[in-house]
Amino acid sequence: MTGPVEAALGAFAALGALSDPLAWLVVGAFVGGSLLELRAREPARYVLAAAWLLFALFWLTLVHHFAFEQRSLIEGVGSLAAVPLSAYVGLLLYRGRDSLFVLSRAVGVMGVVFMPFEALAVLRRPLIRTVTMQTEFLMALLGQDPTVLTWTEATGRIAAQYDWSGARARAFRDGAGYYDYRNTFFFLREGTDPITYTIQLACTGLGSMAIFAGLIAAVRAPLRRKLRAFTVSVPVIYALNLVRNVFIGLTFGQQRLQVLVPEVMALFGTSDPRMVSYFLADRVLAQSLSVLALVAVTWLVVRELPEVLTVVEDLLYVLTGSEYDLGAALDEGVDPDPEPAAVHADGGD
């Protein structure tokens, strides 16, 4: 008999199947609402408020994936928290908080940047190949020389160790179709089983770059300053992500963080002690440092494009319920929302 906990987990897992089609629906709603805002702000308000509710549902479909499949505490908690927060943003926008139109435009641009790579191999393949080659190059600079194979080649070398039934067989087939190109680092140490580290779309930094591309595109500011903000954010994130890949790949492949093994295995629910280095390197250290890096990059962007403070202030309001004037606190010379009231009224640029 299935208990309530098992039933809830099963329901969350079933919701995950809706994430991909729902993602496209969310992006379409945000883009459509943002375009409508250019002509008619009030109708756009209702479209974008509905888009935020769909966004809340989208995050709900990802909770099981991040928390139980990826075993990422940060992403799992973050996706769960995003459910009520997204719904609350929609409510605030519906009630008249016009500054949230900027955040809504930003989410639409983020989706337009990210989703084509997720859906189209013609875009995804060269990006992953490039990141793999650059990660390999950086490893070589450190005196390391791991073998880089396609997913099929790497898995084929250790196929005898796999149970080719059920979920693992499906995972192999899915991986072979989605990532059947040279993107897997193959580590083989004497006396131990091989370890593979595969560069996927999530390892390219595209998600974080899309966030800042959306923020920069959404605010109304001179193109010159937008280009400067882009320069201090997207290339920096890309470079830091390569460092992250090198750190995780070598730490995991060479088993350099095998500490507190029983405790970490229990915490992340794994039966393979070799995964301890991976979980500590990626799920604990890399993801924690990534949060700090994004905060630092945000500060760099704000120095070049203070208009982004409108979004930051809105996010702080959603989280705390208090209003903030970060422009005054940071002594910025540019008003983060320079549009006159008349422009707000008719939605013009």
The residue annotated as part of the active site, out of 203, 228, 283, 303, is 203
Tokens of 213: 């591309």
Rounded distance, CA 103 to CA 95, Å?
Answer: 15
The residue annotated as part of the active site, out of 71, 244, 274, 303, is 244
Assess whether 203 carries a catalytic annotation. Answer: yes
For 266-289, the three-class secondary structure string (H helix, E strand, C coil) is HHHCCCCCCHHHHHHHHHHHHHHH
Contact 342, 328 (CB under 8 A): no
Contact 318, 89 (CB under 8 A): yes
Say which residue the tokens 């500590």 belong to. 280
Helix axis angle, 287-304 to 73-94, nearest 10°: 40
Assess whether 170 carries a catalytic annotation. Answer: no
Rounded distance, CA 54 to CA 44, Å?
Answer: 15
Instruction: State whether the Cα torsion 279-281-287-289 is positive or negative.
Output: positive
Q: What is the set of active-site residues? A: 203, 244
